[in-house]
């Protein structure tokens, strides 16, 4: 009996101990599950409240990195710039900045030139990167694209430098000639010769200032505010009359032809200036006893009929490398010839801006020694007017505002506008 009691007591004690051990093990397991581990810190970081919302409205590219440099959050702009690839930050200098900021908590900012993704031309992407701590474990990287701002600033500097140079030349010449006149006061023939040169330089200066004003006007004004139907025949006749004297001096014959009774919708003054510049260039860059042709026709296009006005010359032509730059401000294919004819280098830039502001384009075909054909393509009056009444007409893009040649194309063959009777100067 005593043995049975002892066995029962031992079994009871063993059961109590087993139960106590099970309870302790269960509680320890729960405590371990609630304790944060290194793995959980690495794979499941949490953004501070409100940060996600703020990042979604920022214009800058935003990337949030954890303590192992893994990307926790990245905006769509960051992916578009190629900053994040495969869930990781792809720019090594930015990774190093993030590590330094994580170590000492200091905000850092730097400007970098990065290779542009998807191009083989070696173009650089200029960015400004700013890194700041975000809480105790995260780092925020903000990246702003400065490429366009730098390009515009470079164009502005070039424009100011070119204007200064172009103005300095006639002003300096006038100063020297005035001194020469004063020194030759006793020689009537010398005074007359120097005075003639002064008139030439004064005319060049006047033309330059006027074309700068015209260029500024076509860039800033909306040509469709005062739009009206404009007869192409009248524009052609006005352009021929404008260049009649220069053509007569060089015995250049001008021919006008093409489809009659065509109309454009736009600012008459700007359209006349654009076509006049093309005809004037054709005359100035053509040798004596050649001819210049101006012709217009209607062409069918998906968005509505277009009017093509082509100006063809038999001049010196334009090389392949120059064709990409002829529409830049102050660019001259032959600087010596331009100065001899009084050219300012702004005429084709004005033509391009006028074409773009009227929802059209200007193109060029040329072959050295064979001549050139410049073609204005503009919407016909009916199609352009309907488009203007239904939606806002597109204006100039960034390349146009800065005078660059992006978007300017070349046609594959010259347009032959010599079927009409000749118009002699």
- As a whole number of Å, the end-to-end CA separation of the chain is 145
State the pLDDT at residue 149. Answer: 84
Cβ neighbors of 393 (< 8 A, separation 6 or more) are: 224, 358, 359, 384, 387
Mark 90-129 as b/e (b = at least 16 C-beta within 10 Å).
bbeebbebbeebbeeeeebeeebebebeeeeeeeebbbeb
Give counts: helices (H), strands (E), the chain: 15, 15
DSSP string of 254-309? EEEEESSS-EEEE-HHHHHHHHHHHHHHHHHTS-TT-EEEEEEEEE--TTS-EEEE
User: How sure is the predictor about 295, in pLDDT bands with cuts at 50, 70 and 90?
Assistant: very high
- Tell the CATH topology of 149-220: Helix Hairpins (1.10.287)
Residue 409 confidence (pLDDT) above 50? no
- In whole angstroms, give the CA distance from residue 11 to residue 3: 12
State the pLDDT at residue 305. Answer: 87
Residues 57-69 have a mean pLDDT of: 84
SS3 101: helix
379: phi then psi, degrees, rounded to nearest 5: -65, 140
State the pLDDT at residue 198. Answer: 87
Q: Which of 167-171, 309-313, 353-357, 399-403 has the lowest mean pLDDT?
A: 399-403
Residues 103-117 have a mean pLDDT of: 85
Residue 425 confidence (pLDDT) above 70? no
- The pTM (predicted TM-score) of the whole model is 0.52
SS3 84: strand
CATH homologous superfamily of 47-145: PAS domain (3.30.450.20)
State the pLDDT at residue 264. Answer: 92
Residues 187-211 have a mean pLDDT of: 82
User: How sure is the predictor about 164, in pLDDT bands with cuts at 50, 70 and 90?
Assistant: confident
Q: Where are the domains of the chain?
A: 2-29, 47-145, 149-220, 223-423
- In whole angstroms, give the CA distance from residue 81 to residue 98: 18
Q: Which CATH number fits domain 223-423: 1.10.10.10, 3.30.565.10, 3.40.120.10, 3.90.1150.10?
A: 3.30.565.10
Confirm whether 149-220 and 223-423 share one CATH topology: no
């Amino acid at each position: 009996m005593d043995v049975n009691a002892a066995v029962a007591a031992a079994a009871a004690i063993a059961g109590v101990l087993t139960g106590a051990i099970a309870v302790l093990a269960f509680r320890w397991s729960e405590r371990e599950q609630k304790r944060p581990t290194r793995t959980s810190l690495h794979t499941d970081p949490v953004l501070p409240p409100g940060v996600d919302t703020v990042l979604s409205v920022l214009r800058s590219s935003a990337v949030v990195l954890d303590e192992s440099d893994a990307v926790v959050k990245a905006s769509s702009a960051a992916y578009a710039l190629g900053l994040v690839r495969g869930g990781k930050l792809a720019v090594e200098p930015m990774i190093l900045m993030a590590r330094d900021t994580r170590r000492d908590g200091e905000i850092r900012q730097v400007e970098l030139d990065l290779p542009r993704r998807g191009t083989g031309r070696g173009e650089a992407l200029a960015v400004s990167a700013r890194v700041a701590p975000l809480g105790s474990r995260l780092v925020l990287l903000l990246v702003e694209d400065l490429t366009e701002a730098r390009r515009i600033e470079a164009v502005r500097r070039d424009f100011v430098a070119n204007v200064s140079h172009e103005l300095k030349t006639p002003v300096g010449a006038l100063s020297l000639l005035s001194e020469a006149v004063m020194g030759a006061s006793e020689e009537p023939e010398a005074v007359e010769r120097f005075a003639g040169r002064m008139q030439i330089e004064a005319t060049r200066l006047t033309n330059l200032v006027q074309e700068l004003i015209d260029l500024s006007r076509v860039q800033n004004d909306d040509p469709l505010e005062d739009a009206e139907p404009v007869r192409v025949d009248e524009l052609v006749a006005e352009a021929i009359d404008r260049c009649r004297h220069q053509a007569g001096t060089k015995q250049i014959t001008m021919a006008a032809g093409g489809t009659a009774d065509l109309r454009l919708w736009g600012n008459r003054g700007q359209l006349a200036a654009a076509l006049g510049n093309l005809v004037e260039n054709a005359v100035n860059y053509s040798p004596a006893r050649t001819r210049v042709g101006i012709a217009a026709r209607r062409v069918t296009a998906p968005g509505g009929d277009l009017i093509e006005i082509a100006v063809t010359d038999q001049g010196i032509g334009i090389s392949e490398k120059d064709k990409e730059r002829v529409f830049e401000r102050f660019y001259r294919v032959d600087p010596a010839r331009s100065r001899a004819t009084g050219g300012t280098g702004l005429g084709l830039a004005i033509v391009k801006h006028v074409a773009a502001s009227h929802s059209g384009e200007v193109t060029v075909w040329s072959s050295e020694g064979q001549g050139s054909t410049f073609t204005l393509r503009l919407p016909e009056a009916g199609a352009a007017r309907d488009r203007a009444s239904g939606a806002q007409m597109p204006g100039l893009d960034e390349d146009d505002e800065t005078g660059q040649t992006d978007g300017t194309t070349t046609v594959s063959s010259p347009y032959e506008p010599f079927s009409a009777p000749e118009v002699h100067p």
